[in-house]
Structure 1
Amino acid sequence: MLDLTQLRSFVAVEQMGSFTLAAERLGLGQSTVSQHVQRLETSLGRRLLARDTHKVVLTGDGEALLSHARLMLSIEGQVQSLFKESSLRGRLRLGVSEDFVTSQLPAVLEDFVRSHPSVDLELTVALSGALYEMQDNGEIDLVLAKRRLGDARGRLVYREPLVWLARDPDHVLAQAPLPLIAFPPPSVTRSIALEALSRMQVPWRIVCTCGSLSGLTAAARAGMGVLVQPRSMAPSGLKEIGTARLPLLEDVEFVLVPRKGADQALVSALSEDILGKVRGLRSGAQK
């Protein structure tokens, strides 16, 4: 029979991409996590993890095991929840900004859903400005989105520089006015980009507007124009354009904003999970 403790360490290493970060997240020593994975590999007679130049990655057998490991841990969480008097229950409506979804959301939510199977989590993905409007209307309990510097709303998760991106910077910069690829209003990144260009009197035109980051990325990869994104969320295939060629962009802050009147126990539990996971992922990316 497979050991759930060993499976938990295996899944944590896959999520964090590092034995060290997995150990920190589980509250264990790195050697203990390594032993768990080694014993799991021995019991299965297969190698599950391999180390590349940047992080620990799954082997083919590890990928085959991962979904089953997650399912077993999920079942364990459901059983424990049935017999835990203090288990969380209820509905929590979470709103997440479009650009955060493709980069970090799956890892952020996986543990919460597994640990709190009695919580009905509803997810809304939209632009930051739209999410705040929905929250003001009572439609969302907790927002994870961007705010501009100087905005006091919410609890800071991390601060991030915005950067200009293009497939071929020389080509797009040779065009006048500057072709821009942007989210529609209300968009924090759009507002910051247009204000920066206006301050430096750089003429611009919008060549692509889309509410989906995948659509904007496709346009940028096609060479249509310049895209603005947080640096850590820059899509592959695009090059950063330095401030010697385009104006310096204001940083943005990712924050958690709870709705007044929302279930504080649910909001607090998910907020702490998000804070811990996001900061752990960013710490690992910077090492």
Structure 2
Amino acid sequence: MLNPQWLRSFATLAETGSFTRTAARLGLTQAAVSQHVSHLEDALGPLLVRRPRQIELTPAGRALLDYCAELEQADKRLQSRLTDAQADCGEVSLVTPGSIGLALYPVLLDLQQAHRGLVIRHRFAPDPEARDAVLNNTYELGLVTLRPDDPRLASEAFIEEPLELLVPAAAKADSWDDLAALGFIDHPDGQAMATRLLSRQFPANPGVRTLPRHGFVNQIGLILEPVARGFGFTVLPRHARLAFARPDAIRVIEGCAPVVDQLWLIYRAEWPLPARALRLVEHMRRACLQGGA
């Protein structure tokens, strides 16, 4: 690897065009600057054409100057990634469940719009994938419904998210027979969520699996579409309903003891979060308190 001091002398010389000015700027002697350039030329071949009161870079010299610029940019990128001072630029990564993700995504866009230097990478994923993504350092932050017990992960209570029984706007759901007549719109977590909620709404029910299934959707943003069109009912976290574009076409059935999930913010416990990640967390918390998510 080329000596960084030699490269610094060469890049400054290319900028100033003078051994005297280069030595003065770097606090070196002219002999030291000349020696640094000679070492580089021994390794790379002729870099300069020396004329009275003027120097000119050879093609190899121009290539080396480009290399010096690339090293400087790489150093800046490294410093940006390592420093806590860069709250307004750099990449922040977040992995969340789909329901809260639907509500948070516009909030994330608001933050990125206000700070154009930020790049926010957001992915929807279930708990196991979110946990593994943070553990493997592919994502800095995660939201999960089950608090992890892995000592490598720090966790903080973030927000509560109730489950809701959702039916078409004109439908009734006063009994198990009403639900059976509607049919169930299933999704990847549908059976588990419906079992948890309906066991409180209808304690003596024969089980969700006995209900006719009128659809299955694996995209969180589309699950309520068949409900809005009257094809059946479903059970979802509240944030999925709040993010739905046609709230007048669906209805929440009230009247049972709530089933509420606590969402946990997770991140690696062994090192501090950078300032831009802390800014993102603060922005999300503020939006949730204000009802924006």
Conserved? CA contact 1:169–1:241, under 8 Å: no
CA distance in 1, matches of 2:102, 2:94: 16
**What is the aligned partner in structure 2 of residue 122 from structure 1?**
121
**What is the aligned partner in structure 2 of residue 204 from structure 1?**
208
Secondary structure of 1:225's aligned partner? coil
**What is the aligned partner in structure 1 of residue 75 from structure 2?**
none
Conserved? CA contact 1:177–1:204, under 8 Å: no
CA distance in 1, matches of 2:195, 2:289: 30
Q: Does 1:91 align with 2:91?
A: yes
**What is the aligned partner in structure 1 of residue 254 from structure 2?**
242
Of all paired residues, the percent bearing the same amino acid is 17
Conserved? CA contact 1:108–1:278, under 8 Å: no
**What is the aligned partner in structure 1 of residue 180 from structure 2?**
176
How does 1:208-247 map onto structure 2 within 5 Å? Answer: 208-231=215-238, 233-234=240-241, 235=244, 236=247, 237-243=249-255
How does 1:21-36 map onto structure 2 within 5 Å? Answer: none
Residues 126 and 209 of structure 1: CA distance in aligned 2, closer, same or farther (over 3 Å): farther
Residues 175 and 164 of structure 1: CA distance in aligned 2, closer, same or farther (over 3 Å): closer
Q: Does 1:280 align with 2:290?
A: yes
Q: Does 1:165 align with 2:166?
A: yes
Conserved? CA contact 2:98–2:125, under 8 Å: yes
- The Cα shift of 1:194 comes to 1.6
Q: Does 1:155 align with 2:159?
A: no
Give, as a single letter, the amino acid of the residue that structure 2 aligns with 1:226: F
TM-score under structure 2 length normalisation? 0.53
Secondary structure of 1:143's aligned partner? strand
- The Cα shift of 1:151 comes to 7.3
**What is the aligned partner in structure 2 of residue 267 from structure 1?**
277
CA distance in 1, matches of 2:139, 2:171: 39
Larger radius of gyration: 2
Residues 190 and 278 of structure 1: CA distance in aligned 2, closer, same or farther (over 3 Å): farther
Residues 142 and 271 of structure 1: CA distance in aligned 2, closer, same or farther (over 3 Å): same
Higher relative contact order (CA 8 A, sep 6+): 2
- The Cα shift of 1:164 comes to 0.4
Secondary structure of 2:183's aligned partner? strand
Conserved? CA contact 1:144–1:256, under 8 Å: yes
CA distance in 2, matches of 1:135, 1:162: 26
CA distance in 1, matches of 2:234, 2:268: 31
Secondary structure of 1:275's aligned partner? helix
- The Cα shift of 1:99 comes to 1.6
CA distance in 2, matches of 1:264, 1:190: 36
- The Cα shift of 1:254 comes to 3.2
- The Cα shift of 1:251 comes to 0.7
Secondary structure of 1:139's aligned partner? coil
**What is the aligned partner in structure 1 of residue 60 from structure 2?**
none
Q: CA RMSD in A?
A: 3.6
**What is the aligned partner in structure 2 of residue 62 from structure 1?**
none
Secondary structure of 2:103's aligned partner? coil
Residues 211 and 135 of structure 1: CA distance in aligned 2, closer, same or farther (over 3 Å): farther
How does 1:71-86 map onto structure 2 within 5 Å? Answer: 86=85
- The Cα shift of 1:197 comes to 3.7
CA distance in 1, matches of 2:139, 2:104: 20
Conserved? CA contact 1:108–1:277, under 8 Å: no
Secondary structure of 1:281's aligned partner? coil
- The Cα shift of 1:201 comes to 4.0
**What is the aligned partner in structure 1 of residue 24 from structure 2?**
none
Conserved? CA contact 1:98–1:126, under 8 Å: yes
Conserved? CA contact 2:182–2:231, under 8 Å: no
Count of residues paired in the alignment: 192
**Alignment partner of 1:253 out of 240, 255, 262:** 262
TM-score under structure 1 length normalisation? 0.54
Residues 108 and 90 of structure 1: CA distance in aligned 2, closer, same or farther (over 3 Å): closer
Conserved? CA contact 1:90–1:120, under 8 Å: yes
Conserved? CA contact 2:166–2:236, under 8 Å: yes
CA deviation string 1:56-94 (max 9, x = no partner):
xxxxxxxxxxxxxxxxxxxxxxxxx9xxx9324543321
Conserved? CA contact 1:140–1:259, under 8 Å: no
- The Cα shift of 1:242 comes to 2.6
CA distance in 2, matches of 1:183, 1:132: 21
CA distance in 2, matches of 1:132, 1:190: 22
